[in-house]
Amino acid sequence: MALSDEEQRLLDQMEAALEAEDPKLASALRGSTRQLHHRRLIISGLGFALGVAALIGGMEVHPVLSVIGFVIMLAAAAIGVTAWQQSGVAADGAGGKGNSERDFMGKMEERWRRRQDEGF
């Protein structure tokens, strides 16, 4: 579930306060969650490859193995997508968006509210 603008703003303020108060702790916390998400990405990639191998191998051995391979592929893809979204790679790594996109949308919303208040 996505955070509202106010919740995101509060979270950003809390992160900034933690960074100012204890930079080592903030760095350690930030690094550990990113490492966990990256590890999940790697494991899901390996799981997907294993699922493809089982799917292809099942054509030779037994059809049930192909079904199991497909289920493994599906689960690995779901885990990979959620890890990708949670790691911030999707927002930060794809096209350099992330905070700049959020700032842009915030500015556009503020302009819209100002126009509504002014009666345009």
The per-residue pLDDT string of the chain (120 residues; one tens digit each, 9 = 90 and over) reads 577 888 888 888 888 887 888 877 777 666 666 677 778 888 999 999 999 999 999 999 999 999 999 999 999 999 888 888 876 654 544 444 555 666 788 888 888 888 888 876
Tell me what pLDDT residue 49 has: 94
Tell me what pLDDT residue 120 has: 60
| Domain annotation covers residue 104 | no
| Domain annotation covers residue 83 | yes
**Contacts (Cβ under 8 Å, ≥6 apart) of 90:** 84
| Domain annotation covers residue 65 | yes
Tell me what pLDDT residue 52 has: 94
Tell me what pLDDT residue 101 has: 65
Tell me what pLDDT residue 95 has: 47
Give pTM, 2 decimals: 0.49
Task: Report how many domains make up the chain.
Answer: 1
| Domain annotation covers residue 51 | yes
Tokens of 41: 């990405």
Question: How many whole angstroms separate alpha carbon 70 and alpha carbon 49?
Answer: 11
Tell me what pLDDT residue 54 has: 93
Exposure string over 12-40, b if 16+ CB within 10 A, otherwise e: eeeeeeeeeeeeeebeeeeeeeeeebeeb
Residue 70: which domain range?
36-90
